[in-house]
Structure 1
Amino acid sequence: MTTEPRVLMFPTLDSATAAAHLRAELALEVDPDDLARDLASGARHGYMVVESRAPEAFASARISGAINLPYREMTAESVSGLDRELVYVCYCESIHCNAATKGALKLAELGFKVKRLSGGITAWQAAGYPVDRDASVPAIASRPAPRCAC
């Protein structure tokens, strides 16, 4: 008895359709390595990194230079001072959190260009990249995980 592979249960797309889909996916995401390389090289023009979680999460661990803009607080008024020419790279806790998706969606609905950081701050730290934190806040590992604002 031959068993068909589950991998092939659904037919693949033709290459042009697959390429278009993957290109669109990459247009909305950036991985920690690409962002870290840009930040390290000083290539910081054209985009802003946005922590989409609650302020206590931002205080406990954040990407250097990121601004805190919790998605729950995003309104036309609260983002009125943002530069509409920039791309806003939103991140949250991890793949188990959707605050970055919610933040990017709100910004997009308000007319901003957006991307999402794949894997959030968890993937960033797992890759060995440094984080900033408020001096009065202990490292995440030494206390319960912060509320992610999802």
Structure 2
Amino acid sequence: MIPTPPLPTSPTNAVTAVPPAASADALAHFEQAFRFETDCWDVHDAMSSGEPGFVLVDVRSAALYAEGHVPGAMSLPHGKITEGKMAAYPKDTLFVVYCAGPHCNGGHRGAVRLARLGRPVKLMIGGITGWLDEGFALNRTA
């Protein structure tokens, strides 16, 4: 027989002090997240297929891109995302952006710029840090 763990008796810490959302609300929230984010494993799998269905964009500086980037990614620093640079792509092209990792908001900045231009966009959560954590290699051009 597997023992049942004891249930918490009272909210005594920062985790339990705020009650969790109802299951239906949690389901809606987490399902919605997939519309905005993808992860390194899924990007790797899609890129390996040869037909990923999106354009992968490294939004870090050109120098950091040269030091190491996800294979198949193009370099376009978030501050240089403009309508002129996006004009080469059909309006319904999905872009997946990433930056250095969870400590970096460059991916979010790039996603905001693309969304403001009316472009479909997702964030590859984890960025370069997550990519390396999964054991995937980087390409270097430096």
TM-score, normalised with respect to structure 2? 0.86
Report deviation, 1:52: 0.6
Counterpart amino acid of residue 23 in structure 1: E
Whole-angstrom CA distance in 2 between matches of 1:33 and 1:21:
21
| Displacement after TM superposition at 1:3 (Å) | 5.6
Q: Which has the larger radius of gyration?
A: 2
Shift in Å at residue 37 of structure 1?
Answer: 1.6
Question: What does the per-residue CA deviation read over 1:60-91, in whole Å, with 9 as the maximum and x for residues that have no partner?
Answer: 11111111111111122222222322211100
Bigger drift between 96-105 and 33-42 goes to 33-42
Residue of structure 1 in register with 2:97 after alignment: 90
2:84 paired with 1:77: yes
Q: Which amino acid aligns with 2:21?
A: L
Task: After superposition, give the CA deviation of every residue in 1:78-115 in whole Å (9 maximum; x if it has no partner).
Answer: 22222322211100001111111000110011000010
Equivalent position SS for 1:115: strand
In the alignment, the residues of structure 1 paired with residue 120 and residue 86 of structure 2 have an alpha-carbon distance, to the nearest angstrom, of 13
2:3 is aligned to: none
Partner of 1:17: 25
Give, in whole Å, the separation in 2 of the partners of 1:83 and 1:132: 27
Q: Distance in 1 between matches of 2:93 and 2:76?
A: 15
Give 3-state SS (helix, strand or coil) of 1:78's partner.
helix
User: What percentage of residue pairs aligned between the two structures are identical?
Assistant: 32
Runs (5+) with no aligned partner, structure 2: 1-8
Structure 1 gap ranges (5+): 138-150
Distance 1:66 1:27 in 2: 20
Cα displacement string for residues 2-61 of structure 1 (whole angstroms, at most 9, x for unaligned residues): 7634222112212221111111212111111111122223341x2110001111111111
Q: Take 1:16 and 1:29, find their aligned partners in 2: how far apart are those partners?
A: 20
Separation in 2, partners of 1:62, 1:83: 24
Q: Closer, same or farther in 2 for the Cα pair 1:41/1:80, shift >3 Å?
A: closer
For residue 147 of structure 1, what is the aligned residue in structure 2?
none
Alpha-carbon distance in 2 for matches of 1:62, 1:41: 18
Q: Provide the rounded CA distance (Å) in 1 between the counterparts of 2:99 and 2:110.
A: 9
The 3-state SS of whatever aligns with 1:77 is helix
Alignment of 1:1-150 (within 5 A): 4-6=11-13, 7-44=15-52, 46-134=53-141, 137=142
